Amino acid sequence: MHIQLSWEDPITEEQQEPIFPLPLAFGRDLSQLPSRWQGQEVSRAVFTSREVSRYHALIYCSENGQVIYEDRSANGSRINGKKIRQARQVLTGGEVVQFGPYNVTVSLVASADEDPDATLLTRAHRGTPTLLLEPPTDLIRPDTRTPIDIPPPSTVVFAPEQIVDSRAAGEFPPPQLFQAEHISLAALRATGLPVEESEYLALGGGIGSFVWVDTLRIHGVKPEQIRVISIAQKPYERYERLLNNCQIPRWKRIRSGSDSCPDNIWGWPGYALREAWRSFFSGRVLEALGFLWQVFSEPLLADTYTPRAGDVFTAMDREAARIGWEQMLCYGNIRAIRKTEDGRYVVAYSATRAGHTDHRFRVAKYVHLATGYPAIKLLKDLQEFREQTGDLKSVVHGYEPHSHVYEHLEKHGGTVLIRGFGIVASQVMERIYEARKVNPRISVVHLSRSPKSGNRFGRAKRAVENHWEFQPYNWPKATWGGDLRAMLEAATPLERRELLELWGGTTTASRRKWRRAVQEGLQQGWYSILFGKVEKVELDNKGKPVTYIQGTHNNTQVKVEADFVIDCTGLVSDPMTNPLLNDLISHYHLPLNPHGRLHVSNDFELVEMRNREGRMYAAGIITLGGPYAPVDTFLGLQYCAHRSVEHLVRVRAPGTKTLEGIGSLWQWCKWALNLKP
Amino acid sequence: MTPTLIGRWQTRIFLLSTVGVLASLPFYFGLTGHGGSFTYFWVLLYVGLFGCGWDVIYNYLMGYMWDHDWPGVLQLLAGIWEGLFLGTVLMVIGLPYIPTQDFYLVDFILHYGFVWVGIYLSSWVVMRILFPRWRFRGGEWLGKWPHSPS
Ligand SMILES: Cc1cc2nc3c(=O)[nH]c(=O)nc-3n(C[C@H](O)[C@H](O)[C@H](O)COP(=O)(O)OP(=O)(O)OC[C@H]3O[C@@H](n4cnc5c(N)ncnc54)[C@H](O)[C@@H]3O)c2cc1C
């Protein structure tokens, strides 16, 4: 008999589903877990939270074939919500076992029909060949890492640069040349391809690159010294595409603070003040006061203020023109990054456009890497469904275009199954609420692995209502600049992981409108929440996707027939799934943090990439799990930019000046007057 | 805002000794109330001294909020509470350099209110514009980022 534990990683939001042969011992401290029990070899799993005991519990098969959960902990466990401590209980499969911050669903699998893919996760998980879920005590060093292959493309098309990449592969960058640790400029020139040079180079050209370049410009660097390589014209291009897909057009509000302004490094005036200003002079005085009241009293007395997407983009356009973004932008697909022999970096990129191949190199001394999300992935069972049926219409991801779902529902009515409880799920719910005004014959089944009770940290508890967990932004606010930021930076990699587990998880913003939709839906019966773990999704004879769910009691099975299934779980942040990053990490043996993301210093430097005077930095989701929690947010990206540029000032990088006091005020005045920095 | 304790202290001291002093000048020169007096600066000092103590309590209370956040409305309540407390102490027992017979309630309310509004508004504006680091360091404007080990 084997046991499968499944849960969602609270930080990366990835599904974890390792399978262990019984008996299984788990706890916080590997050395406290027995390796043998009653003559049998024991599988061991380590969960790092301090709320888990050193040796928390043992799960074994009794003589009469029952599976027994034996709690041995100080704080106890909860099985389907019922507390047990220092006691035994029979498991029949499907139960949700809660210990510390973890909510783990247990499934019993006969050894024979074990899913070969499922164990893969465990092996990939820090490279232990046995079924041992052992977290590293520190950074993951390259020599202990098993190579992870780039997974086959998902059916969700997300990164156009990767598609072009695979089509135009071949002999660029020249494989022989790019095998070296350090490449000489002479060798680059000998290829006959153009070799361009600049002092600073931003890779990606999304919002992360934009705020870095903006910060550099305001710290004194001239546009001639900076180049940006991207396939996007506008810095918010990919972001806007994702917003559109998850039903947020320009006039809708995003999930961001008033002072998270990618167009203004000081955060003043924030979007609330600017919007209040505009409303006031358009004669809408009450509305203007409303915005000010929101920023004054949020989140205690009012919903948190958030700006409209369109206002953020307009402001970025203005700033882009001010700092000369287009002048610095080079169109291209980034293929590979290497160190050069003269203490710099070379980036091989392809500016190929239809019908005309154009391969180039660009050499720079200071490089910033912000390529955003590596991929979007469907939940495994949904991906299987799409592969088997070829049906890309009835099972969709919230981040891919899926307006046809709402059009169909408005015309014909129907049932939607939603997976995931984050911000995208809220948006989808809002959209369905609108659709119900056109056609009330629409119902929603919302699937959750386990009931939510709200994370705790110190004296505080996160708010929960109807199993939706609320938090204004995706991390507690003090992680951007308050005491939680300081605490995380001071912690060791493993302590960071623990803190992030307590602060993370899927949450949504508490907006009155959304909460009312959920409340009404529950009361009127068109919205229901179902608990359990999905076993499979299949096409029934009416051509609809049917989801088979293992309930939380006694291995019961529930079947949900729906017209559409919408996957509202997160995006993939594993850098190994991206060809460019995979190559960089493998080639230079870069260490990863305990979440398998790029390890950066507190200044966001990739320290192992240092090349004499040359420095390389990273920002965004690819650094998740490091010294700073909200890396994938506007303000977080500005923080990354701020730290790395202050670091550049310290190493006296050319053109950079300290920004403080009167100098800072002067730069702000230029911003306000829309003058070049 | 999401301050740290040290950040609260640093910001309070900085703003009282700049904006606070500026806002007290009209009172010192006797433009209002019972004629000019140096007492107004003693009041500033006490606002700072007691305030540093209150900050410890605010910092503790902030731990009850999931976001470890200190929104404007709490800043306002804290300002009212501190004013009430200091006003009562000055009126009933008095403090060194401000004897009760020199204490005029209306003058105190005017002065305290004016200083508080000045400080409140500039904590949103002045600090951010002068110190880009300030908002990422929980209100600490002094000092630089520590050198990270590498
Ligand atoms: C739906 C959604 C809503 C969000 N809402 C908010 C919000 O309200 N507030 C907030 O603060 N944050 C929000 N975020 C998070 C985050 O701020 C954005 O995702 C932001 O765009 C991240 O910026 P980035 O620079 O890291 O990545 P991106 O903006 O995605 O930029 C990366 C760029 O790199 C390019 N690129 C990648 N690889 C290559 C290559 N090999 N060659 C050439 N170019 C390449 C991509 O094309 C892209 O243009 C949201 C995220 C999502 C998905």
d(CA B28, CA B25): 5
If one counts the domains in chain B, the total is 1
**B88-100 mean pLDDT:** 90
**Residue at B131 is within a domain:** yes
pLDDT of residue B148: 66
Give a yes or no: residue B142 inside a domain: no
In a domain, B149, yes or no: no
Model confidence at A129, in pLDDT bands (50, 70, 90)?
Answer: very low
How would residue A576 be classed by pLDDT, with cut points 50, 70 and 90?
Answer: confident
> What whole-number distance in Å separates Cα of residue A41 and Cα of residue A22?
9
pLDDT above 60 for A130? no
Taken in order B23, B24, B27, B33, the sign of the CA dihedral is: positive
**pLDDT tens digits, one per residue of A481-509:** 999 999 999 998 888 988 998 898 888 99
Residue A149 pLDDT exceeds 80: no
Q: A530: closest CA among A443, A422, A426, A447?
A: A447
What's the ipTM? 0.95
Domain holding B90, by residue range, is 5-137
CB neighbours of residue A388 within 10 Å: 11
pLDDT at A126 over 70: no
Residues of B with CB under 8 A from a CB of A: 2-5, 59, 62-69, 71-74, 76, 124-125, 128-133, 135-138, 144-150
Distances (CA, A) of A22 to A35, A76, A97, A253, A634: 12, 21, 16, 50, 46
B147 within a domain of the structure (yes/no): no
pLDDT in tens, A3-32: 888 888 777 777 778 888 888 998 888 888
Put simply, whether A235 touches B (Cβ < 8 Å) is: no
Q: Is the bond into A299 cis (omega within 30 degrees of 0)?
A: yes
* Per-residue model confidence (pLDDT) at position A158: 55
Partners of residue A485 in chain B, C-beta under 8 Å: 136, 138
How does residue A49 score in pLDDT terms, banded at 50, 70 and 90? Answer: confident
Instruction: Determine if ligand 1 sits within 6 Å of the CB of residue A584.
Output: no
Q: What is the DSSP string of B34-87?
A: T---THHHHHHHHHHHHHHHHHHHHHHHHTTSTT----HHHHHHHHHHHHHHHH
pLDDT tens readout for residues A419-466 = 988 889 999 999 999 999 999 999 999 998 888 888 889 999 999 999
DSSP state of B16: I
DSSP-derived letter for residue A560 is E
Least Cα separation, residue B140 to chain A (angstroms): 10
For residues A161 and A309, the model is more confident at A309
- Which CATH class, in words, describes the domain spanning A2-135? mainly beta
Any residues with CB less than 8 A from the CB of B50 and at least 6 apart, and which? B82, B85, B86
Name the pLDDT band for A116 (thresholds 50, 70, 90): very low
Asked if the structure places residue B85 within a domain, the reply is yes
Average pLDDT over residues A310-322: 98
Contact present, A635 and A259 (Cβ < 8 Å): yes
Domain residue extents for chain A = 2-135, 257-305, 384-471+507-571
A256-284 pLDDT, tens per residue? 999 999 999 999 999 999 999 999 999 99
Please report the pLDDT score of residue A128 as a whole number: 26
Q: Quick check: CB of A237 below 6 Å from ligand 1?
A: yes
Cα-Cα-Cα-Cα torsion A262, A267, A273, A279, nearest 10 degrees, comes to -20
Structure tokens at B141: 């404007």
pLDDT (mean) for B43-49: 95
CA A524 to chain centre: 34
| d(C-alpha A146, C-alpha A127), whole Å | 5
Is domain A384-471+507-571 given the CATH code 3.40.1350.10 in the classification?
Answer: no
With beta carbons less than 8 A apart as the criterion, state whether A1 and A60 touch.
no
Structure tokens at A77: 């466990």
Answer whether A42's CB lies under 8 Å from A61's CB: no
- pLDDT class for B73, splitting at 50, 70, 90? very high
Q: Is A206 in the pocket of ligand 1 (CB under 6 A)?
A: yes
Would you call B150 and A480 a contact, using CB atoms and an 8 Å cutoff?
A: no
**A159 pLDDT above the threshold of 60:** no
- For the ranges A170-184, A297-311, A625-639, B29-43, the lowest mean pLDDT is seen at B29-43
Give the pLDDT confidence score for residue A136 in this predicted structure.
Answer: 45
Q: How far apart are CA A388 and CA A587, in angstroms?
A: 36
Confidence of residue A477 (pLDDT cuts 50, 70, 90): very high
